[in-house]
Structure formats: structure tokens, C-alpha cells
Amino acid sequence: MIASSVLKDVLHKALSTGADYAEVFVERTKHKQISMVDRKIGEITDLTIAGVGIRIFKGTRSVCGSTSSWDPADLLRCAGQVADALNDAPNLQTIHLHERLFGDIHPIRIVPATVENSRKIELLKEAEAAARGFDPVISQVAARIMDFDHQIQLATSEGLLTQDRQIRTRIVCSAIASKNGENQTGTCSPGRRMGLEMFDTILPADVGIRAARQAVTMIDAGYIPAGKMPVAIENGFGGVIFHEACGHSLEATSVAVGQSQFCGKLGQQIANTKVTAIDDGTIPNAWGSINVDDEGTPARRNVLIENGILKSYMVDKLNGRRMGMASTGNCRRESYEFEPTSRMTNTFIAPGQDKNEDIIRSIEYGLYAKEMGGGSVNPITGQFNFAVNEGYIIRNGEICEPVRGASLIGKGSDVLMDIDMVGSDLATGQGMCGSSSGSIPVDVGQPLIRVSSITVGGR
């Protein structure tokens, strides 16, 4: 993307006032989105993001800057401005860049940019028609298809020169059910690190039907009484509970500065012995997968919790310096304009040995959370609050009538201890995770699990 000779000059300039490490992050991303509302194309958006981020370290101090220009003079000017934040003796090390290619374990068969808009519109029409035709109470359907072609190049003062290309595709369908003056919404939004071949296995009609079914189910639902009770949380997007309530607290971004509920607990039991949790950026074609992270460290499979014991944090270079730990391949950023830091990739609770029917049968009265929604969490205390998009009462060991308005309220460290049954049917859901380094694609997942007791908020 940018000649290695130019990158080397920029790195030398960045080191000119005493930094002990420098990196150059080059990005060119193309993003296309086509949206449809009530059978009409709403908009077609083409967006290109291109620029360079430059960062230096001096011990545990970090300085970064960025520019949208790739002109060598502008890059040197930006590097000089970053370097001016320090005022020490120049680092006169000689930099020899050696290109290292880590391979691509995420093959792409149909690059989205090569596909006509008309074909993408056909896919949207399939999802929209299936949702609208599901039930007469569906009053509105919106759908959109998105594809991303994210290309990066990295050069560091340690001599690394590498690159990666990340192509992703996603379809989102939302359906609104209206009845007796009330509205309920259902949404389905699968995505993969794939091209348009994603639709060989994910059928747009199925996406539309799933969104509509959720809306129709919830429009007739009553409200759940609030209180503490056992909860069965379904697989797939149910994994957002671990991601938000516990995952962020295991990122070095929080741990290194003492703002995590799990600081200093490596090797200690922090979860029920049935809980094993993993962050794995190497899963082929998964939504959150990478070949290398945004510091050039190869992606890897990190066991965070094994049989309840805390085994690892997710660590980037800067916070690794603060913690005395090596990077785990988890450094990520939304774009060149953000300073990178430790983030999740594909994070999930591993399959267990319990049978789904036994999990449900074990609950005399409680909640079955079939689909989780958004929420909030404080990584310092672990306190969280999450909406349940689709829930059902469990009565006498059977899933009964749907209920709306439910939320799960608790503390991450408590929930980990209270997960006392783990099924075997692992599935994942796709989302965008926001944090200090911007919004990035992540997978969340788990089998069906039982939380023995948790506060359920109701009407």
C-alpha cells in the first residue's frame, strides 16, 4: 500500500525525540450499504475510509496521531508532531523492515464489490417479502445489506512489515408487528467474514421470517413479574451476557489500570467449574476473526477461563508493558483515527455436558431468555442491565407463554459463579462492540445455560 522505504523514514522520524517504539498503521476501507423500507430502496451508500495512524511509546506512555493523507511529506509531518510530544535524546536505532505474511485462513469466494447492486437488492427483497408475508399483523419491514473491504498495512520499529485484508458481509432485517395500538419489533442480523457466498447457507427469507416471528410473538406477550429467579439463556446471541458483563472486565484496557472486577485474580476461581470461556480470533470466516491484530500480532485462541479458573486476560502491547505480559493478539481499532487497545474477537462460553431438556426441566418457575438485547455494564464493578428481546415463562419445567419487558440485572462475577448448567449446542451471534478504540465486529456465543438465580426486572 505504502512503500517500505517511506514507512521506514516515518518510523525514524517518530523515534527522533526518544521514543522506544513506533508503529505506522495504514488503512483503506470500502463500505457499501443498501437499505430497503416497505418494499422501496431507501438509500445506497458507498464510503471509503483511507488514512494513516502513527503511534509511539516511551515506557508506558503512548502518543498517537493520524492523517488522511498518504503523501510522504504529510506522513513525516504527522510523525514529527507525534514525536514533539516527547523531548528526549533521539533513538538512533537502525530499522530493517522484514515483510511477514501470516496467511489467510478466511477464504473469500465472491468479493462483494464485484457483485451488481441488482443482485444485492434481490436478496433484500427475499428477506422483506418473507417477513411481510409471515403474518397480517406485520405493519412495516426494513432491511439492509452491508459489505466491508478492510485493508490494513503495519510497520513497526521492531522491523515488522505486514498486511491483512478483511472482507465481511451482513444482512439485517427488522419487522414491526402492530396490534391494538401497540408495536413490537423483531430483528435478525447475521454476518460473516465472507463475501456474498454467505448467502449459500444463510437464506435471506429465513432472516426475514425470524425477525417477523419474534415481533409477532412479542405483540401478544404479557409482562413478567419482577424478582429473583432461575433463568435459562439460549445459545447464540445469549453470549452477549458474558461479552458485556465479564468480557470487557478481562480486557487489559481495564485490568492494567486497576479498573476491573478481575484485577489480580489470575489462577483463582472466578466462575462455576462448569464454565470455560474462550476468545478465538482464528475461527475461519467468523464475523470477529482476524489474521493479525492491529499491532501486527497474529490472532490466536485464548482460553480466558478454564473450568472456572481465570487463565488469561486479553492483552495489547501498551497495556502488556504495564502488566508485564505479552500481547495475546487482541489489539483492535475501528479505523486509523482511533488509538488501538485490547478488544474481544469471537468470545464464547464453551459447550458443556448438560442436556437442553434437563436445563429447562430443572426450573420450576423462571425465565427462558430466547433472544438477548442490548444493555450496559460497568467494568469496574461488573454491574450490568440487559434487555431480553424475546422471553418466555418457565413453569413446572416447561416453556410456557411469552413475556415482554424483561431485563436481567446483576454483577458479572456473581453470574459466572451462578452458571450451574451448560448445554452442548454452541451457537454464535454477530454484533458491533463499542469501546475506547471505536466500534468493531465481534462474535458472541454460548450453548443454552442456566443461571441459578438472577434479578429479573419486569413491568
Residue 375 has pLDDT above 80, yes or no: no
What is the extent of the structural domain holding 137? Answer: 112-149+167-220
Q: Tell me: do 206 and 125 sit in the same domain.
A: yes
Q: Tell me: do 121 and 141 sit in the same domain.
A: yes
Residue 170 has pLDDT above 90, yes or no: yes
Residue 373 has pLDDT above 90, yes or no: no
Query: Does 260 fall in a domain?
Result: yes
Q: Tell me: do 258 and 276 sit in the same domain.
A: yes
Query: pLDDT of 223-264, one tens digit each?
Result: 988 999 999 999 998 888 899 889 999 999 999 999 999 999
Look at residues 205, 220, 235 and tell me which one is the last residue of a structural domain: 220
Query: Does 140 fall in a domain?
Result: yes
Q: Tell me: do 202 and 333 sit in the same domain.
A: no
Q: Tell me: do 233 and 345 sit in the same domain.
A: yes
Query: pLDDT of 430-454, one tens digit each?
Result: 999 999 999 999 999 999 999 999 9
Q: Tell me: do 173 and 285 sit in the same domain.
A: no
Q: Tell me: do 285 and 177 sit in the same domain.
A: no
Query: Does 60 fall in a domain?
Result: no
Query: Does 324 fall in a domain?
Result: yes
The identity of residue 348, as a single letter, is F
CATH, residue 189: 3.30.2290.10
In the chain, the number of structural domains is 2
Q: Tell me: do 181 and 263 sit in the same domain.
A: no
Q: Tell me: do 270 and 383 sit in the same domain.
A: yes
Query: Does 28 fall in a domain?
Result: no
Q: Tell me: do 172 and 277 sit in the same domain.
A: no
Q: Tell me: do 232 and 171 sit in the same domain.
A: no
Predicted TM-score of the model (pTM): 0.94
Q: Tell me: do 201 and 276 sit in the same domain.
A: no
pLDDT band at 87 (very low <50, low <70, confident <90, very high): confident
